[in-house]
Amino acid sequence: MSTTAVDPDLARIDAELDALLSECDPKKVDNATFRGARFDRGLAWVHFPVGHGGLNMRPDLNRRVEERLRAAGAAPQDPATFFIALAGPTIVTHGSEEVKKRFLRPMF
């Protein structure tokens, strides 16, 4: 029996990633479709609220998401879209529900 404690957030991330990858293979669908499915599962920015691309988890878990998705063949984020790293947190923090729904998924 292992004495290593299981991080429940990490286990949830892995379960969501497993489900995403079984439903939507990044090597078989276009990048926009894959990223939309990723957003819908809360794996866009895991520290964002549920329903807005996140799972209300620690931001350091984003690294796990990126590592697993790259290993599965998902394309990396286009460096030309760096503004998302700045605009996303601003919108999720200060935007109305209408603004969040209008911009977060399409911009991801």
Q: Which residues of the chain have pLDDT under 70?
A: 1-5
pLDDT attached to residue 28: 97
The 8 Å CB, 24+ separation contacts for 10-17 are: 10/61, 10/64, 12/55, 12/57, 13/43, 13/46, 13/55, 13/57, 13/61, 13/64, 13/65, 14/64, 14/68, 16/41, 16/42, 16/43, 16/55, 17/43, 17/64, 17/65, 17/68, 17/69
pLDDT attached to residue 31: 92
pLDDT attached to residue 102: 93
What is the pTM assigned to this prediction? 0.81
pLDDT, tens digit (0-9, with 9 covering 90-100), for 41-55: 999 999 999 999 999
pLDDT attached to residue 79: 76
